[in-house]
Amino acid sequence: MSERIEYDLLLVGGSPSNLTLAYRFLELAKESGKEFTIAILEKSKDFGAHILSGAVTNPHIIEKVWPNYKEMGFPIEATCTESNFSVLGTEKKWDIPPSLYPKSFDKKGYLVLTLSYVVNWMANQLQEKAKDVPNVTIDLFTGFAAHSVVFEDGRVVGVSVTEEAKTEEDYVYGKLTCFGDKGFISRDVIDHFKLRDNPQIWSVGVKEVWQLNESAEGKVWHTLGWPLLEGTFGGGFVYGMKDNKLTVGMVISLDSQDPNMNPQQKLQDYKKHPFIQKLINGGKLLKYGAALLPEGGYYSLPKKFYVPGAILLGDALGVLDVKYLAGIDRAMECGYVGAKVLHDALVAGDTSEAALAPYQKELEDGFVIKESYKNRYFRWAFIENPKLLGRYLPDMAKSIDKTNAWVGMLKVGFKNPLGATKDGVRSLSLIEGKIDIGPIKYVEDYKHIIPAWVPPKYDEPPNFEKATIYSRVDAVFYASTKYHEGNNHIDEFNANTCVRCISTYEALGKTTPCVADCTAEVHRIDIIDDVRKHGMSLENCVHCRTCEIVCPEVNLRVKPSAQGSGPDFLGL
């Protein structure tokens, strides 16, 4: 009979939050001298290989965890020396004066990072630190995904590490378990304990890294406008890194009305703009990938950040702050705070729910939740007033191309002087947290889709270099996807439901949202026995979960892949 594999602390996912927690826990364990066992399960083949982020971050938490981080070789791409917030027409760019946009968009002095490298570095530092703390045994498992949560007597007690768990070898147990994933498995904890009354809303980030002929190191741009001129919330980002490398990406919300948005194509359209073309022309594409971002903020947080036997951190919790474009420092702070709470609980031999409650209290008393609360209406301001992105932004973009942005701002007022002023005051008050309208209620992203919706037509930027633009099929190559035989990590619950969905959208001259919005050419429509059916090329998947979020029939689920399969985002 096999023995039960159990650790004091089980960390699901090699996330910045979990790795920060483990590192801080080692420091506390060295002080207490108590013996502990820790396991970290990471589904990718290497720590960082499934990590993607447009990473410009405030270094304050990094400085707290590693005061001498620079001397330790912390991987920094650049320090931001030039921060811009710009609006793009189809041909020109307007850099908004700093006095006219929120200070949260000013990133001067922040670190430009490749988060996949940071996470890999953190895992290595953890192993080095462990050598100095002999009273702690820590096991780092790569290529081990958590496939399901194990509940016993109303508690989280561990996870299964195989898809069809049958024997004790298929499970890893923990006295306390930490979930830092993007919802692959933490959603089951939230659902089991009914923690979320308001749904999480999501955006997808699509990103490329380019090798340039010239350096743009330290220069940062965040942009609004082209190619998102139809009312969808989102924007672009450009980060200059060391060694003549450049990050180009977009973050696009998945509550769009457009059923055929195609985020990867939106990124290609973004790159057609003369501003981007000037940067990347003559360069070489190195990497491509995509990942979800939780952007519901304060009102999408679970009612409790802890449950019997477990805590939620980082993206599993949903602490990303859209207004500040900040998630990394918030996630790491969750880990830093969680480490002491879990350490104290284990030392006291009390792993009850009451013993975990200080985790939520300390986060609520600190900057993570306080700032989330202050910015609680940021995302809602754009949902409540669709004219901001559907009318006023396009008007401004047109004016940038034809005259200048100031004329566009005046036109907004002249067209509807009372309405524009009222809209502006109300929306700005929500964005800045100046008024309190009470709790808000989101609806799931897919419910915003209008099947018959027709996007407005815009002429694309002229004179772009075709060699810089990649089809979705070709882009997948740069995500370096690799899967083991028999991979089957996306569930389609009912094939007939997909058949009906295909029929609905094709009758409107469109394809289904899962096919159109896939970032990696996974979903397709096959003709089998004269019936149009949903098919999947799973070997292309980059694990972004966009298909699951936009599926109008809630008929798909993306699961963790097995044996380290998936994309390789190291360097992205």
Q: Which of 292, 291, 290 is nearest to 478 (CA)?
A: 290
CB-based contact 198:218 (threshold 8 Å): no
Give the CATH number, domain containing residue 136: 3.50.50.60
Give CA separation, 553 vs 113, 439, 446, 447, 496, in Å: 38, 28, 9, 10, 11
Quote the pLDDT of residue 147. 96
Res 462: pLDDT? 86
pLDDT at site 420: 61
Q: Do 435 and 506 share a domain, yes or no?
A: no
Q: Are residues 184 and 39 in the same domain?
A: yes
- Same domain membership, residue 554 and residue 480: yes
Are residue 30 and residue 131 in the same domain, yes or no?
yes
Q: Tell me whether residue 461 is in a domain.
A: no
Phi-psi region of 543 (alpha: psi -120 to 50; beta: other; left: phi over 0): left
The answer to whether residue 368 is domain-embedded is yes
Residues 33 and 152 in one domain: yes
Examine the domain organization and report whether 432 and 412 are in the same domain: yes
Q: What is the pLDDT of residue 151?
A: 97
Question: Peptide bond before 227: cis, by omega within 30 degrees of 0?
Answer: yes
**Shared domain check, 366 and 391:** no
Residue 100 included in any domain: no
In a domain, 346, yes or no: yes
Q: Which of 439, 459, 484 finishes a domain?
A: 439
Determine, yes or no, domain membership for 453. no
Q: How far is CA 412 from the centre of its chain?
A: 33
Residue 418: what pLDDT?
45
DSSP 309-330: TEEE-HHHHT--BTTTTB-HHH
Residue 526 sits in which domain range?
Answer: 473-558
User: In CATH, what number is assigned to the domain containing residue 550?
Assistant: 3.30.70.20
d(CA 35, CA 338) in angstroms, rounded, equals 18
d(CA 465, CA 462): 9
Is 354 within a domain?
yes
The token duo for 261 is 């948005």
Same domain, 482 and 534: yes
Do 127 and 188 reside in the same domain of the chain?
A: yes
* Tokens found for residue 246: 């450049």
In a domain, 351, yes or no: yes
- Cα torsion through 336, 340, 341, 343, rounded to 10: 130
417 shares a domain with 388: yes
pTM of the model: 0.95
274: in domain = no
Closest residue by Cα to residue 544 from 526, 515, 567: 567
Q: CB within 8 A of 44, min separation 6: which ones?
A: 14, 50, 142, 143, 564, 566, 568
pLDDT score recorded for residue 102: 81
- pLDDT averages per 10-residue partition of the chain, 572 residues: 86 98 98 98 97 95 98 98 96 91 91 98 98 98 96 97 88 97 95 97 98 97 96 97 98 97 98 98 98 97 98 98 96 98 98 97 98 97 94 92 68 50 83 94 97 92 95 97 92 98 98 98 97 97 98 97 95 96
Q: Which of 393, 419, 439 lies at the terminal end of a domain, its last residue?
A: 439
pLDDT in the model for residue 163: 87
Domain end marker among 390, 416, 439: 439
| Same-domain status, 511 and 492 | yes
Residue partners of 417: CB distance under 8 A and separation at least 6: none
Residue 550 near residue 517, CB atoms below 8 Å: yes
Asked if residue 364 and residue 386 are part of one domain, the reply reads: no
Domains contained in the chain, number: 3
Whether 446 and 513 have beta carbons less than 8 Å apart is answered as yes
